[in-house]
Amino acid sequence: MTKRNDHDYGHQVRKALPITAVTVAVALFAAVAPAAAPAPKVTARDASVTEGTTSTALFSVKLNKKATKNVTVSFATADGTATAGADYTATRGKVTIPKGKTSGRIKVHIIDDDIDEPTETFVVKLSHPKGAALTTKSVTGRIFDDDVPPAGP
């Protein structure tokens, strides 16, 4: 009776061992593996241009820390008081901040008209971040006029 019980006990221990070994291995791995780093955050800044001095509005897009892989953010312009096709060129696309870098740029073409007008604005909407969290959803482009008022009668 006693011998048989001992044998059964030993059998149970042998069966249990692999599970214990796996559990210890998983616990060790969890302790050694670094915790997943939080994704970098993307911010963008407004831009201002004066008609005629430059044909491009440059919007700076920045990460709060270097990316460990390429970060992309989709963007698309939208009219404010400025009109696409008359004051600036409607633009959409993706801005990429390459792995290891912290900044990228969005370029929007500004149209130099000959019309005297107030300062006008358009918006660049940001969306669909990949590899980072988006903290700026839209930025504003300001176009300062450079045309003189028409001469009075």
Residue with Cβ nearer Ca ion (63 or 87)? 87
- Of 3-11, 27-35, 69-77, 117-125, the segment contacting Ca ion by CB under 5 A is 117-125
Give the residue nearest to Ca ion (CB). Answer: 87
Asked whether position 78 contacts Ca ion by CB under 5 A, the answer is no
Distance, in Å, from the CA atom of 141 to the CA atom of 58, rounded to the nearest integer, reads 9
Binding residue for Ca ion, selected from 115, 128, 133, 135, defined by CB under 5 A: 115
DSSP of the chain: -HHHHHHHHHHHHHHHHHHHHHHHHHHHHHHHSPPPPPPPEEEE--EEEETTT-SEEEEEEEESS--SS-EEEEEEEEESSS-BTTTB---EEEEEE-TT--EEEEEEEBP--S-----EEEEEEEEEEESSEE---EEEEEEE--PPPPPP-
Asked whether position 133 contacts Ca ion by CB under 5 A, the answer is no
Binding residue for Ca ion, selected from 76, 107, 121, 145, defined by CB under 5 A: 145
Asked whether position 79 contacts Ca ion by CB under 5 A, the answer is no
- Of 5-13, 72-80, 87-95, 99-107, the segment contacting Ca ion by CB under 5 A is 87-95
Residue 39 has a CB neighbour count (10 Å cut-off) of 17
Contact string 94-113 vs Ca ion (x = CB under 5 A)? -------------------x
Asked whether position 139 contacts Ca ion by CB under 5 A, the answer is no
Query: In the complex, which residues of this chain contact Ca ion (CB under 5 A)?
Result: 51, 87, 113, 115, 117, 145, 147
